[in-house]
Amino acid sequence: MGTKLLLVDDDPTLLSFLSEYLQNNDFTVLTAGTGVDALRMVYKERPDLVVLDVMMPGMDGWELTARLRELADFPIILLTAKSSEGDKLRGFKLGVDDYVTKPFSFAELTARVQAVLARSQANQSAASPMYAAGNLSVDMDKRQVMRGAESIPLTPTEFRLLQCLIQKRGHPITEAALAQEVWGTYRQSDTAVVRRYIWLLRQKLEDDPSHPTRILTVRGFGYRMGTAPLSPPPPSKDSASG
């Protein structure tokens, strides 16, 4: 059985033709015409990736994405007629892995599906099991991030970005390299998305996001993960007595 995809769109003609095309490319394809049907299908079938339309009656793509992110961390690709910065940012905050703007070619969508799946599998296999610095700890296997005793929820895309920074910790990474690693070749020139996600990560991981000590900016180049312990060292005897 091939990789299992779930397509969600209220256009039955599009679902029919797109399903046939993806099946011819060795995918197992499930379909749903509404957000409610999609949630039922996810509970029943556990797909490897979901492609969903934003503009649907009833439960739209935004609400469905939020609901899906409560259930699992499989990749999500949004189909949208809108390409505005605000809509993209909204999707990224919800944990969307990629955007495809309508109208699109089936070949392009298939390539994006394959790229997102390849990134997801590579990140899982390449992950080292644990990372700890100061009061921040990351369990790659459990995909769990802790700051002290507090569990920090990350979207799958946020986690992949953090994972990439951790794997190359101590070494600066360009925005373009991060975009390609996390979002794939189709998005490698979209460095703005990297900056947005760095901002989101800092809001969750930094004690003071305006003065980051975990995810550091390398001016004119990109970013790097700090390697030094992040907890302040205890005062020395000399400083304590002085």
Domain-located, residue 238: no
CA distance 188 to 201: 19
Least confident range of 131-145, 193-207, 209-223:
131-145
pTM of model > 0.75: no
Q: Which residues contact 216 (CB under 8 A, 6 or more apart)?
A: 223, 224, 225, 226
pLDDT digits over 127-177, tens only?
Answer: 456 777 778 888 877 788 988 888 998 888 888 899 889 888 777 888 988
H or E stretch covering 190: none
- In this structure, the answer to whether residues 110 and 166 fall within a common structural domain is no
pLDDT digits over 57-71, tens only?
Answer: 888 888 898 888 777
Domain end call among 101, 124, 147: 124
| pLDDT greater than 70 at residue 235 | no
Q: Which one is predicted more confidently, 84 or 31?
A: 31
CA distance 50 to 181: 20
Q: Which one is predicted more confidently, 60 or 239?
A: 60
Task: Record the tokens describing residue 198, joined without a space.
Answer: 């760095």
Report the pLDDT value the prediction gives residue 52, as an integer from 0 to 100.
93
C-alpha distances in Å from residue 151, one per residue of 24, 141, 144, 204: 43, 15, 7, 10
pLDDT confidence bin for 101, thresholds 50/70/90: confident
**Domain limits for position 40:** 4-124
Domain-located, residue 48: yes
- In this structure, the answer to whether residues 95 and 135 fall within a common structural domain is no
